[in-house]
Chains A and B, each alone.
Chain A
Amino acid sequence: MVNLIFRSIDGSEQKVEAQPGESVMEVAKRHDIEEIVAECGGGCACATCHVFFEAEGFAVVGPPSDIESSMLDFAADPHENSRLSCQIQVEDHLDGVLILLPETQQ
């Protein structure tokens, strides 16, 4: 079991349990985290599953791929250390990572 923490822009947090084999986006959708829209269902085609990290968390999840970067460059609410959550696979070493949610995906 991998524990993830989602923090909204207003500071409220949600601790959820995740399994290796799913994406962070899928975990968020499963737990009704509204800030993650994920319209294309995880195909790296829409950039509405955008999340970002503090330096520590970003070091854990790693940088985005080239395609991800291109999409993120135009994300609605840009932040440093951004990722598309559909491209982050849940793995054991993500346990305890803090995931920051943007205000909007549009």
Chain B
Amino acid sequence: MTDPVTGDVLIVGAGQAAAQIASSLVSGGFTGRLRIIGDEPVAPYQRPPLSKDYLKGKLPLERLWFRAAEWYAEHGIELITGDHVVALDREDKKVTTVAGHTYQYDVAVLATGARARPLDVPGADLPGVHQIRTLADVAELALTLETTRRLVVAGAGFIGLEMAAVARGLGIEVVVLEAASRCLSRAISPQTAAALTELHEANGVELRFGTKIIGLSGTDRVTGVRQDDDGEPACDAVVVGIGALPNDELARNAGLECDGGIVVDTDGRTADPSVFAAGDCTNRPLDTSRGRGRLESVHNAVEQGKLVTAVILGQCRPRQDVPWFWSDQYEAKLQIVGVLDDPDESVTRHDPATGEYAAFHLKKGVLQAVEAVNSPRSFMAGKRLIATGAVLDAAQLADPGFDLKQLLRAG
């Protein structure tokens, strides 16, 4: 256990991790002073709905906020929005913002998140080309979508596929261009990628794999996309979803080790004992053969937020969950738990009667990851089974007639 911090805690960033730390510090009885600095002009809000229900117009803005803006002041938290921290001075323990303000800290938490990777080709700055990361992005995109007839989506990752699903729901023609040989090549297995490709094709999406975008055409606005295989799909809008870059420049410039994210230990601490990091911007220890990596998920931001809070409060570290993630596409609810780490055995479970699908990935008989589509039972069972590390019989996992709950009762 560490000594509790009773002085000034400064959070750089005002997203999921920052909101979690604020909540957890308050409920943990923090007696020091908390200050949060975010570069968006609004209070912390949930990002997942931006590519789902909020984009569809099915969720009012008020339901995105983690807390009403007044909550922060009511709890003595100074929330500074619309300002961007440009320098971290670890010797004098202060930060400087683009507006020219400086703020001291006893403990700093870098929760700067990630930004959408820009498409680096001629024409990428034409009107009608969008990314999906912030509320401001979605406000612009929603306007464009009102008149879009044909959309090209760059990238068949989660953002791209969720966008494709929303667009199809609006009756917009969609072409998805992906440089890799399949969709979601970073995040999910080939088996589940195939199932999702089928789902999108069944909904009228045209997916083109193994193709790079070399330019966007148009003068006043985008009119088409040029591919390296001479493909030239016409369109009146483009959404770019080609990955996220961790915002680790502040840490890097301050001399902190970064490697695809700000490097932190099991306490969320950098090499500087007064500087922590949490969320999408971190490279953290993981239970995989590589030993560490970046997890881009709500769950990770929440977990690291709670962890850093416990350290600051000098309390017991919270129990860590198996990493998990979800994505909504059409009527499909994709839920993923665990991290794919060169499985040596994979089985799928498919119940045509209920439409449930799940892929189980094992290494030496131990379950490491589960991808479930409309199978909350497989997801929830998978969460527990991965945590226990039990050796399992893959045939039982694959059998839709076998009730996974039995595996939890056993042993």
Contact = CB atoms under 8 A, between A and B. Distances in A.
A86 to B, nearest CB: 11
B243 interface: no
A12 interface: no
Interface in A28-45: 30, 32, 34, 39-41, 43-45
A70 B298 contact: no
B136 to A, nearest CB: 20
Interface in B382-411: 383-384, 405, 408
Contacts of B335: 45
B49 interface: yes
Nearest to B325: A45
B377 A41 contact: no
Interface residues of A, number: 19
B377 A45 contact: no
Contacts of A39: 298-299, 302
B302 A74 contact: no
Category for how many chain B residues contact A: 20 to 34
A73 B405 contact: yes
B380 A43 contact: no
Secondary structure at the B interface, as helix, strand, loop or mixed, is: helix
B324 interface: yes
Contacts of B380: 47, 70-71, 73-74
B333 interface: yes
Interface string B301-334: 0100000000000000001010010101000010
Given A46-B324, A70-B377, A40 B298 contact: yes
A74 B63 contact: no
Interface in B13-54: 23, 26-27, 46, 48-49
B381 A74 contact: yes
A92 interface: no
A90 to B, nearest CB: 13
B298 A74 contact: no
Contacts of A77: none
Contact of A45 (B46, B326, B405): B326
B326 A106 contact: no
A101 to B, nearest CB: 14
Contacts of A70: 375-377, 380
Interface of A: 22, 26, 30, 32, 34, 39-41, 43-47, 67, 70-71, 73-74, 106
Lowest 8 CB-CB distances: which A-B pairs, in order? A74-B380, A45-B326, A70-B376, A70-B377, A71-B376, A41-B46, A39-B302, A67-B376
Interface of B: 23, 26-27, 46, 48-49, 63, 68, 298-299, 302, 319, 321, 324, 326, 328, 333, 335, 375-377, 380-381, 383-384, 405, 408
24 contacts: A22-B63, A26-B63, A32-B23, A32-B26, A32-B27, A34-B27, A39-B298, A41-B48, A41-B49, A44-B376, A45-B335, A47-B380, A67-B333, A70-B375, A70-B376, A70-B380, A71-B376, A73-B380, A74-B381, A74-B383, A74-B384, A74-B408, A106-B319, A106-B321
